[in-house]
Chains A and B, each alone.
Chain A
Amino acid sequence: MEIGVLAIQGSVTEHVEALKRAAKNLKENQFPSLDVEVVEVRRPEDLINEKQELLIQGIILPGGESTAQAKLLKRYGLFELLKDAIQGNLQNQKTLLSVWGTCAGAILLSKKTSNSFESKHNKPDILAVMDIESDRNAYGTQIDSFIKKIECDFDDGNDDAKCEMEAVFIRAPKLQPFNVKDPDDIKGSDAEVKILAKDGENSVALLQKNMLVTSFHPELTDDTMFHEFFLKMCRT
């Protein structure tokens, strides 16, 4: 299985290393036949071949500067391609591309952000594929960044689905499923948005079909729980 990390800018190497550790854990403890190759994605040819077939099963959009990332996705011809791959709109596409956005990456995936949202009249400068709303830097500036234990519930049928982990929030966005009725004409999809982790009242990890977002940075801590969860998402 090949997993990509979008390598425009940001915590790319941190994700690459964490994925490798997670893959090793999974192979040793759960899936002996699992082989994961991690690739950095910079250009369209890292994502698809000439026949428009996907070369990777999943991609991580790392933390970084969402403004710079969004501009460069467009400039390097990755914007539409990624959007199509996540939504299954490529020619010859057999499976949806699994995607995980951390922090800035989560903002890129949200259909609605504090600065822009997708509607019939509005083409946002972000990918806008997931039915969530992100409020950029809602926690404040860097002075308000924090490290905290969060409660996770992966609800995947395992007894150990519920757990705690240390999470690093750096100029984090606030994420929540958006109310489809609320903004006039945002197109919601049928798939339910599940909340996987919470910090008090705030949802900090959400899942919708092939899309995962976290407002914190699992690539900055040793715990590979979320990277393992994402690899399992990519496997199915």
Chain B
Amino acid sequence: MDQQKLNKGLAQMLKGGVIMDVTTADEAKIAEEAGAVAVMALERVPSDIRKDGGVARMSDPKMIQEIQAAVSIPVMAKVRIGHFVEAQILESLGVDYIDESEVLTPADPWNHVDKSQFKVPFVCGATNLGEALRRISEGACMIRTKGEAGTGNIIEAVRHWRQIQEEIVSLKDMPETSNDGPSLTELAKEMRVPIEIVKEVRDLGRLTVVNFAAGGIATPADAALMMQLGCDGVFVGSGIFKSENPAAMARAIVDATMNFDAPEEVTKASTGLPKAMESKAIEELDVKLAERGW
């Protein structure tokens, strides 16, 4: 129990920060220099995973170790949904967080990793409240809205976050039990989570863990948008190292995230920036990554 409390606390220390996808030690240094609070070590950023197709797996431990050696900020790495052996490997490597991620090809059609079996903290994606609470019940200490990774298109990140928020608001006046109409008991059953966590979220008016936005953030304004909508921080995947000038984009997104509620600062961060990543309309996608996970 202490471990999840500690892990939730650790995730709180990332609040207000930007976590950047990096594929090499050099990229990790650029991210750290720009003011990232953590890096996500992976072999290919989501936009390349989309392009390449095939099965996307956990990164080579060697590459993760090189990144760990290069920076002093926390290093996260991804495992396939349900692949608890990949998680064991990352834990033994001493990564700071594991992201059980839909960006990689899922490994288990029914189960996510039982995160309570690990001491290392987990972050997981969610598209709605039920999914978020299932992950937290399994032991996740941080949630990120899935968005649609590798698209440079913010609409899905906004959709998922608004969905979660609306569902939290709807808990407020919901009776614990009811013969006609929605009740917390029914909802908990539908969501397949203990009623206690639903009540806790109702009382707090927010998730019980930190929530970061992810999947589609391509500009400083995108980051500030998610922060103004109430997210605790942002993940930027392809948005930085697929832009024309990663160092400048990284710095601008950090500036906009910290000063999200000051339009003049976000304007400054957005002005004269090199070109953002190549982007995609959601309708053009062959695969929707957000649909992975259950």
Residues of chain A having any CB pair with chain B under 8 Å = 7-14, 42, 63-65, 67-68, 71-72, 75-76, 103-104, 115, 136, 141-143, 145-147, 168, 170-171, 217, 220
| Contact residues of A: prevailing secondary structure | loop
In the bound assembly, the distance between CA atoms of A67 and B262 in angstroms comes to: 24
Which residues of A have CB within 8 Å of B17? 9-10, 64-65, 68
B37 at the interface (CB under 8 A from A): yes
Q: Contact check, B9 vs A220: say whether CB atoms are below 8 A apart.
A: yes
B195 at the interface (CB under 8 A from A): no
B14 at the interface (CB under 8 A from A): yes
B36 at the interface (CB under 8 A from A): yes
Number of interface residues of B (CB under 8 A): 32
Q: Contact check, A170 vs B254: say whether CB atoms are below 8 A apart.
A: no
Q: Contact check, A7 vs B16: say whether CB atoms are below 8 A apart.
A: yes
In the bound assembly, the distance between CA atoms of A77 and B146 in angstroms comes to: 35
Which residues of B have CB within 8 Å of A168? 5-6, 9
Residue of B nearest to A76 (CB): B258
Which residues of A have CB within 8 Å of B119? 142-143
Q: Contact check, A71 vs B35: say whether CB atoms are below 8 A apart.
A: yes
Q: Contact check, B10 vs A42: say whether CB atoms are below 8 A apart.
A: no
Q: Contact check, A65 vs B14: say whether CB atoms are below 8 A apart.
A: yes
Do A145 and B16 contact each other (CB < 8 Å), given the known contacts A42-B258, A67-B73?
no
Do A170 and B9 contact each other (CB < 8 Å), given the known contacts A65-B14, A141-B94?
yes
In the bound assembly, the distance between CA atoms of A7 and B232 in angstroms comes to: 13
Which residues of A have CB within 8 Å of B74? 65
Residue of B nearest to A8 (CB): B258
Residue of B nearest to A142 (CB): B10
Q: Contact check, A72 vs B10: say whether CB atoms are below 8 A apart.
A: no
Q: Contact check, B121 vs A142: say whether CB atoms are below 8 A apart.
A: yes
Residue of B nearest to A171 (CB): B10
Select the residue from A12, A13, A142 with max chain B CB neighbours within 10 A.
Answer: A142
Q: Contact check, B6 vs A145: say whether CB atoms are below 8 A apart.
A: yes
Which residues of A have CB within 8 Å of B259? 42
Q: Contact check, A142 vs B96: say whether CB atoms are below 8 A apart.
A: yes
Partner of B2, one of A42, A115, A146: A146
Q: Contact check, B16 vs A9: say whether CB atoms are below 8 A apart.
A: yes
Q: Contact check, B38 vs A13: say whether CB atoms are below 8 A apart.
A: no
In the bound assembly, the distance between CA atoms of A146 and B255 in angstroms comes to: 33
Chain B proximity of A12: nearest CB distance (Å): 6
Partner of A170, one of B6, B37, B73: B6
In the bound assembly, the distance between CA atoms of A83 and B33 in angstroms comes to: 22
Q: Contact check, B120 vs A142: say whether CB atoms are below 8 A apart.
A: yes
Q: Contact check, B258 vs A72: say whether CB atoms are below 8 A apart.
A: yes
Chain A proximity of B16: nearest CB distance (Å): 4
Enumerate the 6 nearest inter-chain pairs by beta-carbon distance, A residue then B residue, closest first: A9-B16, A65-B37, A145-B6, A143-B119, A9-B17, A68-B37
Do A147 and B10 contact each other (CB < 8 Å), given the known contacts A65-B38, A71-B33, A72-B258?
no
